[in-house]
Structure 1
């Protein structure tokens, strides 16, 4: 089933794959990553897919509280969590009847490689009208580091974890307005920054351990006040190598929220609205 969240396309694979080794969804993901990566390459490469899309493989849940598990495949590999992929997977399990629909608000849990994720869906007249998902605990790993990036110069960045490690950079400082005509230039700039950071250092989650090299970068535009405790900002998320996401992404926005909280600019109940190059959230 093909789905999308904010323009980011996720293809949900529901059958046709043998039972994977591993007692948890994370272990099953690691098996694919280490021993069977041909499946990801097949599904994301021509003629069956494109690098800009994602694939979510449904697997049986291994946690008793979850209704289903899912493994995320992207051009960068196997993220252990993704907001847009979670929204798409949740929509698919409802529309396919894996989770029976209930009129009004219903809640259930999915099992990502990172662990349990709380889902809240609203169904109206038998159709999934909206889905929200709980993000993972997010934090700042490093704040306003500076690195000499070949072809760009000194770049100031922070690193947040929000389901994956993100470099957060000021778009204006790098000469960008975050409009669609800049998409290729944004990808080229982000590629250089990510390559430089990966060569400079690695990152490890405080409980999950090694989750791979830093694969994401989030361009942050100026913040525009909309109302008390509510700001809007143009944003763009890059997935290494070479992809600018069609939406601003859930994990990219969560990383930015972690930065705002770290800087003392975010109170409980405050709202950040991010706007992509394609004018989606």
Structure 2
């Protein structure tokens, strides 16, 4: 190993099967008055970090990366920036669950037995966290889902090789196309994963070519990136529902989990259809039989939209503690937009 080699200290975790690689050390402080500003700097001037950790030989596109940064909001204990194969989402439920677990396990937020609450600062703003700790183990994390709403209800689009597809669109941290899996011939089992990815890609391409979507305060947030397949909704008990689900995020990439933002989008749609009321919960179940529980906590009016307030509950597991060695002479390391943010300190000394 060259003396010029640098290291990035990591904790790999997963929630619902989606791996989130938490960057705990090895990156210099980023410029920016808020975590959102720091995200913009990373996106525009240091995207090499995202590419390094999500591409071969260090990673795979199905993973996510969460960079721990100092919070700028005085109410937050820690800040974090989310990086995925499609770019820099301002929020993600599974990444938030993984990051909250990681900062507790790493001691960045002191872990306390029982129920503890703290806040983290995401690019979307302050996020309230509730952690259940039993025998020093983080059993569950409940985090706020972003305020979610239905933008489009049961529209139709012609998709080449598929035919006419009925879809709705909800915003829950990104715009989601919501489609009925049964109408498209899917049972939402693991053997369908490749076919689901191919089908979703065709639908998303058709939607991106036909129209754009604008958030009521954020404005244009780019082309619709996500599609959520919805299975039938079963009522398990009073105030508790369950539905098989799966989320497409990028060509060839189906999330292992049902995703927190996908679950929030489902709650918004169910509220729009009058199928749930505050206090009701929906468990979304993935192709791998993992699940998140979304709770519909209330609504408020934002301009023309009835916005759904919600929380997402899940469990994250620690997979590994490691150091990534970065050799600038390695031809697979494109350090032009990376090297200037790598800390010259050894991460083991951080």
TM-score by length of 1: 0.97
* Cα offset, 1:184, TM superposition: 0.1
Paired with 1:30 and 1:241, the residues of 2 have a C-alpha distance of 24
Quote how far apart the aligned CAs of 1:126 are: 2.1
| Aligned mate of 1:221, from 223, 226, 231 | 231
Deviation at 1:204, TM superposition (A): 2.1
Contact 1:121 1:130 in 2 (8 A): yes
Asked if residue 99 in structure 1 is aligned to residue 109 in structure 2, the reply is: yes
* Number of the residue aligned with 1:203: 213
Name 2:60's counterpart in structure 1. 50
Matched, 1:133 2:143: yes
Contact 1:139 1:255 in 2 (8 A): yes
Q: d(CA) in 1 for partners of 2:249 and 2:159?
A: 18
Dislocated runs of 4+, deviation >3 Å: none
Contact 1:75 1:241 (C-alpha < 8 Å) held by counterparts: no
Distance, in Å, in 2 between the alignment partners of 1:114 and 1:52 is 22
Question: Per-residue CA shift, 1:123-153, capped at 9, x if unaligned?
Answer: 2222222211111110011111111112211
Structure 2 CA distance for partners of 1:183 and 1:14, relative to 1, 3 Å = same
Q: Tell me the secondary structure at the aligned position of residue 14 of structure 1.
A: strand
Corresponding pairs, count: 281
The answer to whether the aligner puts 1:175 opposite 2:185 as a matched pair is yes
TM-score by length of 2: 0.78
CA RMSD of aligned residues (A): 1.1
- Partner residue of 2:50? 40
Q: What is the match of residue 155 of structure 1?
A: 165
Q: Distance in 1 between matches of 2:80 and 2:220?
A: 20
Q: Which whole-Å CA distance do the structure 1 matches of 2:58 and 2:276 have between them?
A: 42
Moved more, 266-275 or 169-178: 266-275
Contact 1:194 1:240 in 2 (8 A): no
Query: Superposition pairs for residues 1-281 of structure 1, below 5 Å?
Result: 1-281=11-291
Instruction: Provide the C-alpha distance between the structure 2 equivalents of 1:165 and 1:245, rounded to a whole number of angstroms.
Output: 16
User: 3-state DSSP class of the match of 2:82?
Assistant: strand
C-alpha distance in structure 2 between counterparts of 1:277 and 1:200, whole Å: 30
